[in-house]
Amino acid sequence: MSESSVILPMWWGNRIESIQQYIGAANGDCRPQWPLELFLEVSNVCDLRCAMCPTFSGLSPSRFFSIKEQERGFLDFATLKNQLDAILQRALIVHCFSYGEPTLHPHFNEILEQLSHYRVLIDFFTNGMHLNTALCEQLVQCHVFAITVSFSGANKADYESIYLESDFDQVLNGLRQLTDVKRAHNSAYPRIEINSLAFEHHVQNLPDFVDLMASCGAEIIHLKTLQTFETTKELRGHCSIFRHWIDGQFIQSAQEHAKQHGIILSCEQYLRTAVNDETSWQQKRGDVTATLPLNQLANHAQQIEPTRPPIGYQTPPTVNCMTLSPTELAAVLRFEPLINSSDQTAPFYCFEPFKTMYIRRSGDIKPCCFAQDQTAPTLGQLNTNSAVAIWNGAPWQAIRDGIIQQRYPQALCEICLRDQYGPRQQVIPDQLQQYQRWLSQTWQIELPFIIPNTTLPNHKIVQCWQRTTDEQTLLATIRRLTPFGVSKHWLTGHLDGLNHYYLHGWLYSPQTPKLRLRVTVNVNGQMWKTLIADQLREDVKAAGHGDGQYGFGILIPDWPSGTLIEVYLADTPWLLGRIETTTATDTQNNAPSSIVPVDLLGDPLLFPVELPTGHESECSHNTSAPPQALLLPYDAGIYEQEILRYFHQSPSDLAAEITALVNSGAILNRPLVVIAFTNRSGSNLLAESLAATGLVTCAEEALNLSQVINTCDDLHLTQLGDYFVKLHHTEPETPALAIKLSWDQLYFLTHIGVLPYLWPDVRFMWMMRADLLAQSLSLCVARQMQCWKGAYPTVLLNQHLATLTAADLIAPLNEITEAHRQFWRWFAVYGIEPVIVEYNELTAAPMVETRRVLTELNLLPNGWQWQFDATRIQIIKQRTPAMEQCLLRLRQQLQLFPELHHY
The values of phi and psi at residue 632, to 5°, are -110, 125
Give residue 339's pLDDT: 83
Distance, CA of 873 to chain centre = 43
Q: Long-range pairs for 375-380 at CB < 8 Å and ≥24 separation?
A: 375/316, 375/411, 376/318, 376/411, 376/412, 377/318, 377/319, 377/320, 377/321, 377/332, 377/333, 377/411, 377/412, 378/318, 378/319, 378/320, 378/321, 379/321, 379/322, 380/320, 380/321, 380/322
Q: Which of 776, 758, 670 minimizes the C-alpha distance to 720? A: 758
Is the torsion defined by CA of 569, 572, 576, 578 positive or negative?
A: positive
Average pLDDT over residues 782-801: 75
Question: Order of strands across the sheet with 518-523?
Answer: 526-532, 518-523, 564-569, 575-580
Separation of alpha carbons 157 and 406, rounded Å: 46
Give residue 66's pLDDT: 62
Give residue 897's pLDDT: 54
pLDDT-derived band at 429, boundaries 50, 70, 90: very high
For 74, which DSSP code? B
SS3 assignment, position 604 = strand
Length of the chain: 903
- 368-385 per-position pLDDT tens digit: 988 887 678 999 999 888
Q: Which residue has the higher pLDDT, 618 or 354?
A: 354
Separation of alpha carbons 377 and 414, rounded Å: 13
Cβ-contact 73, 361 below 8 angstroms: yes
Give residue 591's pLDDT: 34
Separation of alpha carbons 583 and 298, rounded Å: 94
What pTM value is reported for the model?
A: 0.57
For 317, which DSSP code? P
Cβ-contact 329, 384 below 8 angstroms: no
Cβ-contact 448, 814 below 8 angstroms: yes
Give residue 141's pLDDT: 96
Separation of alpha carbons 740 and 549, rounded Å: 40
Q: Which residue has the higher pLDDT, 128 or 571?
A: 128
Distance, CA of 629 to chain centre = 22
Angle (CA) 294-72-129 rounded to 5° is 45
Give residue 618's pLDDT: 30
Cβ-contact 625, 617 below 8 angstroms: no
The answer, yes or no, to whether residue 4 has pLDDT greater than 60, is: no
Q: Which domains does the chain have, with CATH numbers?
A: 41-303 (3.20.20.70), 474-602 (2.60.40), 638-900 (3.40.50)
Q: Residue 504: enclosing H or E segment and its boundaries? A: strand 502-508
Separation of alpha carbons 71 and 78, rounded Å: 19
CB contact set of 124 (below 8 Å; sequence gap of 6+):
42, 95, 96, 97, 102, 144, 147, 148
**Distance set, CA 583 to CA 401, 498, 501, 553, 611 (Å):** 52, 11, 10, 19, 17
Hey, how many other C-beta atoms are within 10 angstroms of the C-beta on 479?
16
H helical segments located in 753-880: 772-785, 794-803, 810-829, 839-844, 846-856
The three-state (H, E, C) secondary structure of 355-415, written as one string: HEEEECCCCEEECCCCCCCCCCCECCECCCCCHHHHHCCHHHHHHHHHHHCCEEEHHHHHH
Q: Residue 218: which region, alpha, beta or left (left: phi > 0; alpha: psi -120 to 50)?
A: beta
Cβ-contact 592, 525 below 8 angstroms: no
DSSP, residue by residue, 621-652: --TTSPPPPPSS-----HHHHHHHHHHT--HH
DSSP, residue by residue, 669-704: -S-EEEEE--TTSSHHHHHHHHHTTTSEEEEESTT-
CB contact set of 50 (below 8 Å; sequence gap of 6+):
56, 57, 58, 127, 150, 162, 163, 164, 166
Q: Which of 206, 225, 204 minimizes the C-alpha distance to 265? A: 206
- 686-696 per-position pLDDT tens digit: 999 999 999 99
Average pLDDT over residues 391-418: 91
SS3 assignment, position 159 = helix
For the chain, what is the mean pLDDT? 85
Average pLDDT over residues 417-431: 85
**Distance set, CA 181 to CA 199, 443, 862 (Å):** 32, 19, 77
Residue type, 751: H
pLDDT-derived band at 470, boundaries 50, 70, 90: confident
Cβ-contact 43, 99 below 8 angstroms: no
pLDDT-derived band at 3, boundaries 50, 70, 90: very low
Q: Which residue has the higher pLDDT, 272 or 146?
A: 146
**Distance set, CA 312 to CA 315, 520, 599, 875 (Å):** 10, 69, 71, 86
The values of phi and psi at residue 550, to 5°, are -130, 15
Question: Order of strands across the sheet with 121-126?
Answer: 264-266, 220-224, 191-197, 146-150, 121-126, 93-95, 37-40, 356-359, 365-366
Average pLDDT over residues 819-829: 87
Average pLDDT over residues 231-238: 88
Average pLDDT over residues 69-89: 86
Average pLDDT over residues 608-618: 32
Residue type, 571: D
Average pLDDT over residues 116-132: 96
The answer, yes or no, to whether residue 763 has pLDDT greater than 80, is: yes
% pLDDT > 90, the chain: 41
For 7, which DSSP code? P
Separation of alpha carbons 713 and 721, rounded Å: 14
The answer, yes or no, to whether residue 579 has pLDDT greater than 80, is: yes
The answer, yes or no, to whether residue 602 has pLDDT greater than 50, is: no
Separation of alpha carbons 192 and 180, rounded Å: 12
DSSP, residue by residue, 191-222: EEEEEEE-BHHHHHTHHHHHHHHHHTT--EEE
Cβ-contact 42, 96 below 8 angstroms: yes
